[in-house]
Amino acid sequence: MPVAAVARTVAVEERSIDQLQASMTAGTASSVDLVRAYLARIAAMDRKGPTLRSVIALNPDALAQAKALDAERRAGRVRGPLHGVPVLIKDNVETADAMPTTAGSLALKDNMTRRDAPVVAQLRAAGAVILGKTNLSEWANIRSTRSMSGWSAVGGLVRNPYALDRTACGSSSGSGAAIAASFAAAAIGTETDGSVVCPSSINGLVGLKPTIGLVSRTHVVPISHSQDTPGPMARSVRDVATMFSAMIAADPADAATAGAGAYKRDYAAALSTSALSGLRIGVVRPEMTADVAARYEVALGVLKAAGAVLVEVKQPKLDGIGEAELLVLQTELKADLDTYLATTPAAVRTRTLDQVIAFNRANEAAEMPFFAQETFEAAAKTRGLDDPAYKAARTKSLRLAGAEGIDAMLKTARAT
């Protein structure tokens, strides 16, 4: 009997992409088996049990996609290391499947675009199964300065699988909690400021914010075109490298990615346990509690044991960077979100940021039970991308973060 037709119980807990691929190669599991196993875990722990609320929607076509990929495998075609591997997508990234892209907001509950974001198309072409969409901090944490990491009106509050009363961080909260709980092999998050790396850290994962321009942002609900990017989240560096390798591509609709093809390669193949030998790494010591400082020293010891040369670096004072960046984010939010909303289906009635603000006011009990929308309201008052104040703030942000910030620190430490 064909392997895809056999109902089997397979172990997916804390399994790497390589391990899942090896089991499919050996015929001890199929992509269908993996999808069923992950769906069972989601049903038992995300919807019931600890109720993590990390998965906001399941793809009704996931099993059909898995069956098709199993058929390809039987026919001798394996697309690569992601062939048949189930992944989750943050719900501000569009997929062509029968799932809306809500960014966690009820204003976008009817945003069924039926189009793949290019980054999703890349994963699909590499053989990944799109299992579903993950919950997130609503509007990727940009609606309010008092927003709650991991809460959205659509999905509720994401819970940390390691400590249910602790934060899962954000804004890619669901992606972090879901992969930590083994609801899929890996996930896509998005980051403007910390939204991939924080939930990855808090949920015990590896997360990568790629350099802007390597991964397309088209059909991703935006905050800032100068800082937004999708990024992979998984259980290991190798799994993140495998995902990242599949995600890189030039996109004609995203000018920043014009040179992405030059960086397209298999980053997992280049991984080495000796990679840190002789590498100079700058070390910043922020204020920390005693227990955190002790754990920090343990982590530094791991780097030293791997051969890294650690160099103490003081973080420079960068007066005004916060204010400058905030103006950039607010200005780009209005411009970029208005542009995105104009492309959504007619069923979406909120076509501008102003209309989203009005929607939230009209639905205050559901949308604003915990925090308001002062950042949205400030963004609505900005004067556009040609505003001299915005341009000056953008220039200042680049100078302080770059030449006077990270570049200066690396130069002082002669770090790599």
Distance between CA atoms of residues 12 and 19, nearest Å = 9
pLDDT in tens, the chain (416 residues): 343 444 588 999 999 999 999 999 999 999 999 999 999 999 999 999 999 999 999 999 999 999 999 999 999 999 999 999 999 999 999 999 999 999 999 999 999 999 999 999 999 999 999 999 999 999 999 999 999 999 999 999 999 999 999 999 999 999 999 999 999 999 999 999 999 999 999 999 999 999 999 999 999 999 999 999 999 999 999 999 999 999 999 999 999 999 999 999 999 998 999 999 999 999 999 999 999 999 999 999 999 999 999 999 999 999 999 999 999 999 999 999 999 999 999 999 999 999 999 999 999 999 999 999 999 999 999 999 999 999 999 999 999 999 999 999 999 888 66
The verdict on 252 and 278 lying in the same domain is: no
Domain stop point among 263, 282, 303:
263
Annotated catalytic, 317?
Answer: no
Token couple for 256: 């920043």
- pLDDT at res. 6: 46
- pLDDT at res. 413: 84
- pLDDT at res. 7: 58
* Residue of 23, 31, 149, 195 marked active site: 195
Residue 400: partners with Cβ closer than 8 Å, 6 or more residues away = 318, 320, 321, 324
- Per the structure, the count of domains in the chain is 3
Distance of CA 373 to the CA centre of its chain: 23
Domain range spanning residue 116?
Answer: 3-263
The verdict on 298 and 394 lying in the same domain is: no
* Residue of 23, 147, 171, 216 marked active site: 171
Burial class (CB in 10 A: 0-12, 13-18, 19+), 362: exposed
Domain presence at residue 211: yes
- pLDDT at res. 416: 62
Closest CA to 28 of 43, 9, 49, 42: 9
Annotated catalytic, 90?
Answer: yes
- pLDDT at res. 2: 42
Distance between CA atoms of residues 42 and 50, nearest Å = 11
pTM for this predicted structure = 0.96
Annotated catalytic, 195?
Answer: yes
The pair phi, psi for residue 216, each rounded to 5°, is -65, 145
The verdict on 83 and 159 lying in the same domain is: yes
Distance of CA 211 to the CA centre of its chain: 14
The verdict on 193 and 284 lying in the same domain is: no
Residue 222: partners with Cβ closer than 8 Å, 6 or more residues away = 228, 332, 333, 336, 337, 339, 340
The verdict on 126 and 206 lying in the same domain is: yes
Residue 274: partners with Cβ closer than 8 Å, 6 or more residues away = 307
Domain containing residue 76: CATH number: 3.90.1300.10
Residue 221: partners with Cβ closer than 8 Å, 6 or more residues away = 92, 93, 101, 103, 108, 139, 140, 337, 340
* Residue of 90, 133, 209, 334 marked active site: 90
- pLDDT at res. 9: 87
